[in-house]
Amino acid sequence: MERRTVLAGIAGGIAAAALPRIASAQARKGYDFIQVDVFSRNKLEGNPLPVFTNAAGLTDAQMQNIARELNHSETTFILPATGKGDARVRIFGTNNELPFAGHPTLGTAFVMSQTRPGRTSLVLEENVGPIPVTLEKRADGTFIEMTQNEPVFGAKADPKMIADTVGISVDEIDSRYAPQMVSTGTNFLIVPLKSVATLAKLKVGFSMPADQRKTFGTGAYYVVTGEPQVESRMIGASNEDPATGSAVGCATAFLVQNGIRKPDEQVAILQGRFVNRPSTLYVRAGMTNGKATNVRVGGYVVEVARGTFTV
């Protein structure tokens, strides 16, 4: 009996010692997230995105640290609307907050639609302003399309400078259309290629000449081909993105502005083949008074995982 009493006392002491740790863990708050793949109907393709469904209570630093921990190109956080939109959405990369990004917008709208059955449109309040999104139930899934900010056309680049920088022949760039900076919320250098065959030659790990960086950035660029099936790559100085909704919006404006594609013609642009994340981005833009306008970018989204992050 004495031995049992001693053992019971030891067990009780251990349990009591553990109580503060358990209480501390219970006091910590969990934030649920849903991970989706954007611009694909197939799991493990497209561009992955974690979406925190209710981020109220998280500080800026916590959101940034969570995005860094998850280590995707972007992570989004849904917050109560501050204006006339359906929600405030903040987008964080691994190192900084972004004013706008394409696949995070579509992926977040998809997650929001799960708790808003019957809705055919949403407005996401992002740092660039309200982004309208439409939702269409189709036999093969929910098609989501956003309207981006009006395109702003910036500086044009010397094709030879671009060719020398990225390691291709200047003859492989379509000389009818100068590479150009375009923004629908984020700036991208759009480079038109003659043939999809050139895409395979492109590599990461370069940098723009020092005297060009102020105008064209340090290295990222988005290439498109003018062939019937348009394919693209988004290449930075150290990485490649599988599907870039913000850049493809700029590319769409470029294609329509230069007469490469007709106004309001929906074009399927392929991306991600070279990083084993095949993606399809559906794009279109109008034309008013000689200027590309009403840029729309759409695609499919599929859910792949759910989890809880404790802070």
- Residues labelled as active-site residues: 74
Q: How many Cα atoms sit within 13 Å of 200 on the Cβ side?
A: 3
C-beta of residue 87 within 8 angstroms of C-beta of residue 80: yes
The backbone torsions φ and ψ at residue 153, rounded to the nearest 5 degrees and listed phi first, read -95, 125
264: region left, alpha or beta (phi > 0 left; psi from -120 to 50 alpha) = left
State how far the Cα of 153 lies from the Cα of 145, in Å rounded to an integer. 22
For tokens 């969570």, name the residue.
66
Q: Parallel, antiparallel, or unpaired for β 87-92 and 121-126?
A: parallel
Residue from 113, 101, 119 nearest 185 by CA? 101
Residue from 3, 44, 9, 16 nearest 302 by CA? 44
State how far the Cα of 53 lies from the Cα of 111, in Å rounded to an integer. 8
C-beta of residue 146 within 8 angstroms of C-beta of residue 106: yes
